Amino acid sequence: MSYTRLPVTTPTGDYEVVIGAELLGSAADLIRAATPAAAMALVTDENVWALYGAAVAGGLRDSGVRVVEIVVPAGEASKSWQRAGEVCERLAEARLDRTDAVVALGGGVVGDLAGFCAAVYLRGIDYVQVPTTLLAQVDSSVGGKTGVDLAAGKNLAGAFKQPSLVLADVSVLATLPGTEWTSGLAEVAKVAMLESREMVDVLIAEAPALLGRDEQPVVDVVLAAVRHKAAVVAADEREAGERESLNYGHTLGHAIEQVAGYGAVPHGIAVAEGMRFAALLAEVVVGAPEQTRVLQDQLLDALGIERPTYPRDARRLLDAMHADKKARSGTVRYVFVPEPGRHVVVPVDDATIAHVLDLWFDGESERG
Ligand SMILES: NC(=O)c1ccc[n+]([C@@H]2O[C@H](COP(=O)([O-])OP(=O)(O)OC[C@H]3O[C@@H](n4cnc5c(N)ncnc54)[C@H](O)[C@@H]3O)[C@@H](O)[C@H]2O)c1
Ligand SMILES: [Zn+2]
């Protein structure tokens, strides 16, 4: 077992992200060093419970912690207001008090749900994240956003809640289904475009090893992505400015997820499609060079991220962009990356978006 500790500083609290391989065996020691809790609710989903639940629960019990197991169904539907209420009721029944903690073992769904419960139960108790998907390790476990979906849309209720510790064990990623793997790699590609040309080149060179899930390259990209996100959120916890860059690819990405029907196109795959479109739109709106789009295509292709199937319908996609909570004051704001390592955020009018979407879709059908 070897690991790296990355400190994360935020206005509302500091914590460490511990990243390495074969860490679950030491999870209990690492968690106990981060929180004084005598009782912990281990929140996880059915899939992750079957694979890793016993190891984590057993380790914590052996170290003297009272463990309350809370297992929710796998999938986005568990990120609901109702499910959050049920989890909080379980915390109360088990008599967890202000000195106790919630441990989230799972992907972004479990992390967002458990984090939200930890934020509101008794107005806030300690919270530890053990992310088990690539997406959760590189993105959702860092930054302090927690929440649930409402009928009106995704992530519409939530709270900022910084964890006491994030424990990212890349060994658990071995069991991740293939689509979840590529979906996570897409978020890594996003980070690389925002970060630097160097990171893009490294990812392209390491792509075969990453697709093979080789341990060291995976540890390296998780570290690089967490470093990037930690630096951004340290500067802008509440998304007043810099943090908006992390929405790169998400404007069209979220619209695709909605129009295709949630679950039909995995989040990261939708984001990658959004990045491809943003690069084209950037040429029209901010005069970005074509080489950037070509390079980004090369990166996404190398990572095995194929273009998804969804309704090529500019009108519906535009409507969905407006419904997204991130469209402020009626105008859709786009993150553009004119060259790797540099981004700008620009409001773009509907006519321009629709025009470039139509051009893009027409180009596809001409190529066959
Ligand atoms: N809070 C944030 O800042 C933030 C950022 C990005 C995304 N998110 C949220 O994250 C969620 C998506 O997270 P996700 O992609 O991790 O999905 P997820 O949590 O649904 O996990 C995907 C699937 O993989 C399974 N799984 C998890 N770990 C596994 C493992 N090690 N081996 C085998 N199977 C495993 C799960 O049971 C599930 O079926 C969305 O709700 C999104 O809104 C939040
Ligand atoms: Zn995302």
Question: What are the tens digits of pLDDT across the range 198-216?
Answer: 999 999 999 999 999 999 9
Q: What is the pLDDT of residue 329?
A: 64
Give the CATH number, domain containing residue 156: 3.40.50.1970
CA 325 to chain CA mean position, Å: 17
pTM value is 0.95
215 and 351 co-located in one domain = yes
Asked if 182 and 149 sit in the same domain, the reply is no
Domain boundary among 154, 175, 196: 175
Distances (CA, A) of 76 to 60, 156, 261, 359: 27, 14, 12, 33
> In this structure, are 251 and 132 located in the same domain?
no
Q: Is 184 in the pocket of ligand 1 (CB under 6 A)?
A: no
Give pLDDT, residue 368: 53
- Report pLDDT for 227: 96
**Ligand 1 in reach of 247 Cβ (< 6 A):** no
| pLDDT confidence of residue 115 | 98
| 17 and 69 in a common domain | yes
Do residues 160 and 294 both lie within one domain? Answer: no
Residues 136 and 226 in one domain: no
Res 104: pLDDT: 98
Both 151 and 237 in one domain: the answer is: no
What distances in angstroms separate CA 351 from CA 24, 136, 368, one per listed residue?
Answer: 51, 35, 26
Does ligand 1 have an atom closer than 6 angstroms to the CB of 47?
yes
Domain of 329, in residue numbers: 178-367
- Among residues 93, 123, 366, 367, the one annotated as catalytic is 123
Tokens of 238: 């509440």
296 lines ligand 1 (CB under 6 A): no
Mapping DSSP to helix (H, G, I), strand (E, B) and coil, where does residue 19 land?
strand
Is 235 in the same domain as 327? yes
Of the candidates 175, 206, 237, which is a domain's last residue? 175
Q: Are residues 191 and 165 in the same domain?
A: no
Q: Answer whether 135 contacts ligand 1 (Cβ < 6 A).
A: yes
Question: Which parts of the chain have pLDDT scores under 50?
Answer: none
Domain with residue 191: its CATH number is: 1.20.1090.10
Name, in order, each residue with C-beta under 8 angstroms of 365's C-beta and a sequence gap of 6 or more: none
* Residue 254 a catalytic site member: yes
Decide if 187 is catalytic: yes
Q: How far is the CA of 363 from the centre of ligand 2 (A)?
A: 27
How many A from CA of 187 to the centre of ligand 2? 6
One domain, residues 212 and 110: no
Is 149 a pocket residue for ligand 1 (Cβ < 6 Å)?
A: no
Q: How many domains does the chain have?
A: 2
Q: Where are the alpha helices (DSSP H) in the chain?
A: 27-34, 46-48, 54-62, 81-93, 108-120, 134-135, 178-195, 197-211, 215-235, 250-260, 267-285, 290-302, 314-323, 350-367
Give the model confidence (pLDDT) of 96-147 as tens digits. Answer: 999 999 999 999 999 999 999 999 999 999 999 999 999 999 999 999 999 9
**Best residue for ligand 1 mutational test, from 140, 141, 229, 245 (most atoms within 8 Å of Cβ):** 140
Measured distance between the N- and C-terminal CA atoms of the chain, rounded to whole angstroms:
50
pLDDT, mean over the chain = 95
Residue 133 CB less than 6 A away from ligand 1: yes
Q: What is the pLDDT of residue 172?
A: 98
Q: Are residues 249 and 294 both part of a single domain?
A: yes
Q: List pLDDT tens digits, range 322-360.
A: 987 665 568 999 999 999 999 999 999 999 999 999 999
Residue finishing a domain among 127, 143, 175:
175
- Backbone phi, then psi, for 108, in 5-degree steps? -65, -30
229 is catalytic: yes
| 332 shares its domain with 315 | yes
- Expressed in angstroms and rounded, the spacing between residue 194 Cα and the centre of ligand 2 is 13
Atom 34 of ligand 1: nearest residue by CA position? 176
Atom nearest to 112 CA in ligand 1: 1
Nearest CA among 30, 100, 33 for reference residue 70: 100
Which of 32, 79, 145, 227 is labelled catalytic?
145
CA distance 264 to 293: 26
